[in-house]
Structure formats: C-alpha cells, structure tokens
Amino acid sequence: MQDTLNHIFSLRKNGRMDHSIRPEFFTLLDRLGNPHTHLPPVIHVAGTNGKGSTIAFMRAMLEAAGHSVHAYTSPHLIRFNERIVLNGQVIDDARLKPLLDEVLAAAHDDPDQSFFEIATAAAFTAFARTRADIVLLETGVGGRLDATNVVEHPIATAITTLSFDHTAWLGERLENIAAEKAGIIKPGVPCVVGAQMMDEAPAAIRVIETRAAAMQAALTIMGRDWHVHDVTDSSWSLTVAGETLSALPRPAMAGAHQIDNAALAIATLRAQSQCPVPIDAIHHGLRTAHWPGRLHRISHPAAPASWDVWVDGAHNDSGAIVLARHIAALYASDGHPTHLIIGMMGHKDAARFIAPLAQCATSVTLIPVPGSEGGKSHDPATLVPLWRTHGARNVSCAPDLDHAIATLAATHAPGRIIVAGSLYLAGHTLAQAAFS
C-alpha cells in the first residue's frame, strides 16, 4: 500500500498545478467506465475557506436524516484515505489499494498525470461502484478547470467564503478567483453562496451573478436572499426559502464563523429536494458535525498538561481574520495569553496572512512546515521582519514544532498555544497528538 501511495504522492512534483481538465483525464475516466457519469446525486462545493466544514455539516445532517453519503474532500491531514468517504466510512486500505492500482494502470501512458487527477478518478470510481443516496464533492484548487468539474449534472452547487489563495493560478483579484469558483455553476442547477468578508466581495458577487444568469441557475446569496439572525451564546436562527428555523443549537465546531458554514450547509440542502432533511436532523448535525484541524483543541506530547493547545489550518487572509476573532473571543472568556506557532508554505501570501494576526498574541514562534524541505516552506527567519512590521512583539524562530512548544513551556507561564499557518502543519500536529 505504501509503495502505491508514495508513487501518487510523487506526482505532486510534476511541476503542474492540479487545476486543469486535460483531454487525457477524460481518456482516463473513459478507460475506467466513465464513473463520473454514474454517480449518485451530487452536491458540488467550491470556495476558498469553509468547504470542508460546510461538507461536514451537510454530511452530519444528511446522515441524521437516514441518507447514505459519499464524500470527497481535500487535502487529507494524516492519511490519504480521509479524502474518500464511502457510505459514511473512510475508505479502508483493503479497498483503496486495488482501486489506486487500477487507476494508475489505466493512466500508465500519461506522463503528465497529476496527484489530484488520480485521487479524483479513484473517488469517482469508488462512488460509482458503491450505492449511496448522495455525493458531497469538494473542488481542489479552483472550480472551472478543477478535475471534479467533469460532473455535468449536480443537484446543487455551493460557493463558500472567497479569499486570496492560489493567486498564481486563479488570479490576483477577487473577481478572478470568483470567476474560477463560479465555474462549477451548471445550467438550471441552483447555486447557494455563503458568507463573504473581503472588501472586494461585492465585485466578486457580481461575477458569480453573471455566471448564474448565463447558466439560468437560481442563485441565492447569504445576506441578500437568506439570513442568519438572533445569534446568542447558545442559539441562532436562519431564514431561508421563506422559512425561519428558530433557536438552532450552536455548532459543536469552535468559532463564530462555523455558524456561517452551518447556515450555508442548511441553505444548500434546502435548495435540493432529492434528499430531504427534517429539522431534527439539522439540529443533530449541528451538535455532532466535526472537521479536524480547524480550531481543534488537542493534547500534544510536547506540551505540559497546564498548557492549552489548539491547531488550526488557517493559511490565508480570511482564515487569519477568523482565527484572530477566535483568539479575541477566547481571551475575553478566560484572560489567558495566546502564543502562536506559525509555519507557512512558500507559495502563500505571508503579508496578507500576518496582518490580521500580528497583534493578537503574546508571542509568535516561526517554524518550517514539516516535510517541506527544498524551499517549499517560507524560511521562518525571513518572515520575522514582516511580523514586526505589522506590530507583533516577541517574535522568534524554532527548528520544529516540538522545540517551539518546549521553549514556550520553559519560558512562559502556562497559557494557550495555537499552531497555524498551513494545513500540512495542522496534519503533522494532529498526527503527533494521535500517535503520542
């Protein structure tokens, strides 16, 4: 199994970003029996932030309603298997290995095959061969040219929060990014758009509106067509499709932004009719949905029990804004200082990420992202001046996560550590916690 995974992981190094639909990918799907045309009903989700959480809420609500659910998400945090959920269960090695071997054999003569194409073809093949009521399908980098966008007839599409990420491939302006994400909108298929926080959001929404109009797709937008209101410490309400769902429980997932993700999940489920979800299933899903690595509280082997350790996958500006708000809320509730440990991939916009966070923490420790040798990670030392320019105090570097945590524990009174900056770092941190 590991040899197979090592091979597909090596495809990440082929120098081509995984967000183009090539003729060779259609050839691969054809050799596999065109599984993308034999799927259960599909809800397709694109966006910059919140895709995984939105899918987690939909999955929990659908399963609470008695529906069987497949899901395809990325990236994985600890094991590749996490990407493919069959009927509510992460695919096991016994099913995954022959599946990957079959897909690789079918793609053997394609020198430009990519990691994401192989993973997506494997997911489609598994979903087509295993009965379920619905598929929750997450895009990879973009939307318009994403390998998942070969699905031509979803029952609904959703677009989550837009932000500045992967700009080298999607464009430097939010309108460019919106155009790529809106590429999943299909003729006559309802599209639901979630919360937006960037100043450039109005122009981006106009791009989505233009695409929806061209596709004659019913478009509903948070804040315009459906609304979150009456938010308290214990409940919130949602008005969608002419119906008000009152006194909904706060999501189990941490962070005020998860109400927005949950609202998008509900609004999207309300936009389709093939898998009805009653109100009791919505309540159950809100209480039980979980998405690891997003404001996730853990026990870490390097941290004394007196320290509170969290891990978050925030790695762009909107993720940093959400994280900064959560840090402020935590401090308001208990007065404990926050210490940030940050590692960032080299292609991420460090300045946009740093600006919202620089003055939130008592200290900032910068580390390389594990496994990102060879220049793929931002050099921590080069980011120190940027943090200081934005007002951060007590900025330092450490060689790795364990050293960073140990140094904090030795030099500060017990407080809160939040590890963030990269989903790869989040996965590494969770793996250390899981296997300690």
Calpha distance 100→118 (Å, rounded): 8
Beta strands in 66-127 (DSSP E): 69-72, 84-86, 89-90
* Structure token digits, residue 112: 């430009």
Residues of the chain with CATH 3.90.190.20: 296-434
CA distances from 267 to 146, 159, 259, 272 (A): 24, 11, 12, 9
Residue ranges of the chain assigned to CATH 3.40.1190.10: 2-288
**Please, what's the largest Cα pairwise distance for the chain?**
61
Out of 3.90.190.20, 1.20.120.1200, 3.40.640.10, 3.90.1150.10, select the CATH number for domain 296-434.
Answer: 3.90.190.20
Q: What is this structure's pTM? A: 0.94
Closest CA to 176 of 295, 267, 48, 62: 48
Q: What is the DSSP letter of 35?
A: G
- Domain 2-288 classified CATH 3.40.50.720? no
Indicate the SS3 state at residue 237. strand
Evaluated on CA atoms 73, 75, 76, 80, the torsion sign reads positive
Q: For every one of its 436 residues, what pLDDT tens digit does the chain have, with 9 covering 90 and above? A: 888 888 888 886 554 554 568 999 999 999 999 999 999 999 999 999 999 999 999 999 999 999 999 999 999 999 999 999 999 999 999 999 999 999 999 999 998 899 999 999 999 999 999 999 999 999 998 899 999 999 999 999 999 999 987 767 788 799 999 999 999 999 999 999 999 988 889 999 999 999 999 999 999 999 999 999 999 999 999 999 999 999 999 999 999 999 999 999 999 999 999 999 999 999 999 999 999 999 999 999 999 999 999 999 999 999 999 999 999 999 999 999 999 999 999 988 999 999 999 999 999 999 999 976 545 889 999 999 999 999 998 999 999 999 999 999 999 999 999 999 999 999 999 999 866 5
CB 356 within 8 A of CB 331: no
Q: Which residue has the tokens 């769902």?
A: 245
3-state SS, residue 289:
coil
Q: Position of tokens 């994401």?
A: 116
